[in-house]
Structure formats: C-alpha cells, structure tokens
Amino acid sequence: AQSVTQPDIHITVSEGASLELRCNYSYGATPYLFWYVQSPGQGLQLLLKYFSGDTLVQGIKGFEAEFKRSQSSFNLRKPSVHWSDAAEYFCAVGARGTNAGKSTFGDGTTLTVKP
Amino acid sequence: DAGVIQSPRHEVTEMGQEVTLRCKPISGHNSLFWYRQTMMRGLELLIYFNNNVPIDDSGMPEDRFSAKMPNASFSTLKIQPSEPRDSAVYFCASSLGQGNEKLFFGSGTQLSVL
C-alpha cells in the first residue's frame, strides 16, 4: 500500500521569500503524485500532478514540484510567496491504474505568510 | 459550471439523530467520492462511486454510515445514529472517472454532533 509523509506540520515564510514544502512517499513503483491546496472553509484544489515524463512539473499559481525517484520525494516549490498563498497544502500519492480519488493524502502542511 | 455543490455547509445535531449530507457532482463527471477530514486522522476516503455504482466502501467506518447515488447528479451520505466522534468536515469530490485526472472538491459540510 502507498503512503505519504509531509514532515513539516507548519511553515512560516515572509512574503516574497521562496518556499519549499516537503513530501516523501512510499510505493513499490513509480506512483502518481499530486499537490493540493486548501484555503480555510474550502475544499481542496489541485495545484499540479505528476504522472510520467518530465520530472519537473509546473502547476497553477506559480507553483512547481520535482519528482525525485532516488529520494522518493515530490517537493513543492514557489520562488516568491504571496500573502494569498497562506493555506494548507496536501501531498497525495496514487497507485498507477487506479482512480485518482483513491489517492492517499498526507497530513498536510500549514503555510503562514508574514508581511 | 457551478462546481461540486454540497449541502448543508454546516450541520449541528444531537447525538443519536440521523444526519444526511448531500452532494451534486459536476455535470458529466462519472466518479464521485466522499471524504472525511479531521485533525486526528487527516483526509480519509470513505466511499466512491463510478457511474452511480459503489466501487469501494472500505473506508466507511461503521454500519451507521451509508451512501447512495440514485442518479448521476446526486449523492447522499447518511449517518444514523450520529455520535460525537462523527464530528468532522465531510467533502464530496467528483472526477471524469477515466483515470487519474484531477479531482474537483466541494466546499465541505462541517458536522458537529453534540
């Protein structure tokens, strides 16, 4: 069975600073990988996904993530954080051939942005 | 498109009462999912449907929980009788259902069982 770990429960960065949120997964083969963002009182919104091909994936809102097979990681990055990026971020891993809804979600990382 | 619509947004009820949560998926989406989110357990998949048929209900915690999808545009998640430990945010999501494409989430129902 797959699993995903987000080591950082809470991260605080200053507006304009760079951001990296960590995600490590466990799966026997190359999985499908996702990053979602959840704003307060809202459902999750997909930021980006990796299925195959280029290991650097571009998403919405200026986010990108890099799949590193050797490290079993899929870290999310943004070069310059905006105050509106404050939210909770979830990494998810899915088994190939299964429905995206059966993905396993991490516990989330809460991002606070300082002015 | 209006997106995935859940109702109610908030529900407060007393222990032992029946609770019904509702979801309208995005038109044309063939897969529908019910999730529960709590601080302790994070986001858990309860059940999902493909073409109105329940495919995997292994995440449903107990027999007190049941879900139906009578047609392609409507699903319910029912808890009877409700217990305080059922308090959580319940999300519905839908997808085209053809593979690993993106999920579209509703805004959730905040359930408080007193």
pLDDT at position A97 over 70: no
Neighbours of B110 (CB within 10 A): 16
Q: What is the 3-state secondary structure (H, E, C) of chain A?
A: CCEEECCCCEEEEECCCCEEECCEEECCCCCEEEEEEECCCCCEEEEEEECCCCCEEECHHHCEEEEEHHHCEEEEEECCCCHHHCEEEEEEEECCCCCHHHCEECCCEEEEEEC
pLDDT for B89 equals 94
* A96 vs B contacts (CB less than 8 Å): 100
B58: which DSSP letter? T
pLDDT 10s digits, B14-53: 999 999 999 999 999 999 999 999 888 888 999 999 999 9
> In the predicted model, what is the mean pLDDT of chain A?
91
pLDDT for B101 equals 65
More confident residue, A47 or A51: A47
* A98 vs B contacts (CB less than 8 Å): 100
pLDDT for A98 equals 65
pLDDT category at B98 given cuts 50, 70, 90 is low
Residue appearing with tokens 């999985």: A31
pLDDT category at B1 given cuts 50, 70, 90 is low
pLDDT at position A35 over 70: yes
pLDDT category at B100 given cuts 50, 70, 90 is low
Residue of chain B whose Cα is closest to the Cα of A100: B100
Contacts of A44 (CB under 8 A, 6+ apart): A36, A37, A38, A90, B43, B91, B93, B103, B105
pLDDT for B41 equals 85
Q: Which residues of A touch B (CB under 8 A)?
A: 32, 41-46, 49, 51, 90, 94, 96, 98-102, 105-108
C-alpha to C-alpha distance for B27 and A43, rounded to whole angstroms: 18
pLDDT for A43 equals 85
- Interface check B5 vs A, CB under 8 A: no
pLDDT category at A100 given cuts 50, 70, 90 is low
Averaged pLDDT for residues A73-102? 88
